[in-house]
Amino acid sequence: MVEREIFYKGQLVVTRVSGEVKSQELIDHVFWLIDSHNIGEVQTDFDQLVYVDNLDAVNIHEEDLERLSEISTGLGQGRGKFRTAIIATEPNDLKLAQFYQSLVKDSGLEVEISSNFDEAFTWLGCDNPDPENYR
């Protein structure tokens, strides 16, 4: 499942990935970001934090991440040079995060891999919008 919250008038999107995650859900999320930017809900040059919580299974492969990066760096360019912090601590999550980071590196999109919320929000340069839930 992919759930998201928008903070700071569309400048920050916090995305929670949980349960059984399939690649199509992440692709749908990227299209949601594009559509939300087009209607003004998400602002140009926004920041995004992605974290895993109570993950049961991941059905995402390298080719899925390649597709995600193609969408983000192609159709998604109108959103500006958004930055993404990914909290990854488990070996498989870390491997996928590093692969995604390497795919978008040449596009100008910034991706940072963090081990906790404090690191991620510090890298994004924003205050934690909900310290009770994001700790």
pLDDT digits (tens, 9 = 90+) for 55-100: 787 787 778 877 877 777 766 555 556 789 999 888 877 877 887 7
Query: Is residue 119 one of the residues assigned to a domain?
Result: yes
- Euclidean distance between CA atoms 77 and 97, whole angstroms: 20
| CB atoms near residue 88 (< 10 Å) | 20
Q: Residue 19, exposed/middle/buried by CB under 10 A (0-12, 13-18, 19+)? A: middle
What is the domain count for the chain? 1
Stated pTM of the model: 0.86
Q: Is residue 131 assigned to a domain?
A: no
CATH number at residue 33: 3.30.750.24
State the residue range of the domain holding 55: 2-124
Q: What is the pLDDT of residue 41?
A: 93
28 falls within a domain: yes
Query: Are 42 and 68 a contacting pair, CB within 8 Å?
Result: no
